[in-house]
Structure 1
Amino acid sequence: MKARWMITAVSAALFFGGSLFTSLRDPWFQGLQRPNWLTFEFLIPFIWIFIWICTTISAILVWEKSSKQSRPWLLMGMYAAIAILTSAYSPIVVEFRSLFGGMIVGGLATLMVYILAFLVKPISRTASWLFLPYAIWGIIGTYLTWVLIQLNPGVGR
């Protein structure tokens, strides 16, 4: 039970830490031209909360299904790396005004999600399937950032 709370707390700090320092509500970011099809932007924070819940449950399942002798520290490190990359998106985009940098960290996090989902599958199929929301949204988010780059040439490179 203690491990569950510890994983949840660390996951929340890593996953949402970037939002404590930077907000995508920044006037510069809000002033960027957006694609016409982006009618669901108000849902994005809720999407990320859902993704965080799924990845945190996945990490807990992997931790609990591992034997006490062979705790999956490398896998936990990968979960942490995904959370840190996810959290880095906002500061990179807003503070450095780099949509390109955001696209790189978002794409890298998504790639790591696919790799980690494959690696945890032998431990827990459920933990692997819990990556599906991130795997889908990661592609959409990375594509959306690429579209923002195209719609705002010379801005955010």
Structure 2
Amino acid sequence: MTFPIIFAVAWAVILGLGGGLLTKIGEWYRNLRKPSWQPPDWLFGPAWTVILGLAAWAFVRCWPAAEAAGETSFLIGLYVVNGVFHFLWSPLFFTVKRPDWALIEVPFLWLSVLSLTVFLRQWDELASWLIVPYLVWVSFAAILNWKIVQLNRPFTPAH
């Protein structure tokens, strides 16, 4: 396997498994008031699997052009920054039990996904489009996060 495939698969697996392991659907979460339009819990795993798979594929597609332009460090950096912001959301929401703090983190995640959409286009137009479901899902999740905060505030530190 080549570096871009290894990196892309590792990135997607770490974010998918990490997010899944940090998402504890327990009594606290079940007791939150949620909007009627929230998707069922079982949908989030498959949605993230598809979204992260498409984003990994986008990385692999961009690699040859980024390599030819001497911009592989920038491409890797875009994915690392996104990975950090992606990974932070679940512990803030589910482990610390602070949807309000997770909501503050969402714009950083959203901007990192938007950056992927914008910058990947210079190396591969299809790759840029492969990120669009990620941007749409994070946008939807941000609205859902905001509504959960609105319905359940104030939040206090978890004990």
> What RMSD over aligned residues (CA atoms) do the two structures have, in Å?
2.0
- Cα distance in 1 between the residues matched to 2:33 and 2:91: 19
**3-state SS of the aligned residue for 2:67?**
coil
Unaligned runs of 5+ in 1: none
Q: Which residue of 2 aligns with 1:46?
A: 46
Tell which deviates more after alignment, 93-102 or 2-11.
2-11
The structure with more helix, counted as a fraction of residues = 2
Q: Which residue of 2 aligns with 1:10?
A: 11
Shift of 1:8: 0.8
Unaligned runs of 5+ in 2: none
Q: Which residue of 1 aligns with 2:83?
A: 83
Superposed, 1:53-92 pairs within 5 Å as 53-67=53-67, 70-92=70-92
4+ residue runs over 6 A deviation: none
**TM-score (norm. length: structure 1):** 0.87
- Cα distance in 1 between the residues matched to 2:81 and 2:146: 22
Q: Which residue of 2 aligns with 1:94?
A: 94
- Cα distance in 1 between the residues matched to 2:97 and 2:134: 24
Tell which deviates more after alignment, 10-19 or 135-144.
10-19
Shift of 1:68: 5.1
Instruction: Return the letter of the residue paired with 1:67.
Output: E
Q: How many residues align?
A: 156
Instruction: Return the letter of the residue paired with 1:149.
Output: V
Q: Which residue of 2 aligns with 1:127?
A: 127
- Cα distance in 2 between the residues matched to 1:44 and 1:149: 19
On the 8 A contact 2:117/2:128 being kept in 1, the answer is yes
**TM-score (norm. length: structure 2):** 0.86
Inter-CA distance 10–137: structure 2 relative to 1 (3 Å threshold): closer
Q: Which residue of 2 aligns with 1:111?
A: 111
- Cα distance in 1 between the residues matched to 2:40 and 2:20: 20
